[in-house]
Structure 1
């Protein structure tokens, strides 16, 4: 039985890698992408993103991103 008061999952993917250029989002090596994980909400994804971004702060070409997977899975759903 599911609890109707349970918060809806809004999945977010956190990943990163080294960019070819600071002007774009083309990665140097797709096989070297760091898949941090999939998180059930934006708040937990943001915590993971900040942690990884802080660890790589000395490498200007290393970037991490948050992808709103729930928008891809349910595009007709109003965004939260």
Structure 2
């Protein structure tokens, strides 16, 4: 089951942009979405700086909802 809530300041999409919605899922926990399904810009990943292999669809294994916390998303 997936639910959602409005994102708050500082929460990020999996592409690194500012999130507008946060989906709450059993598999991944809280995951931000910016409203654009383009996989983000072609710049280096804000979570790993391009050092990690990303999952299909572009999600970085080091993704965090907020960069100011040390916690990685599930």
TM-score range normalised by the length of the shorter chain: under 0.3
TM-score by length of 2: 0.27
- Structure with the largest fraction of strand: 1
- In our comparison, the structure showing a higher alpha carbon Rg is 1
- Structure with the largest fraction of helix: 1
Higher relative contact order (CA 8 A, sep 6+): 1
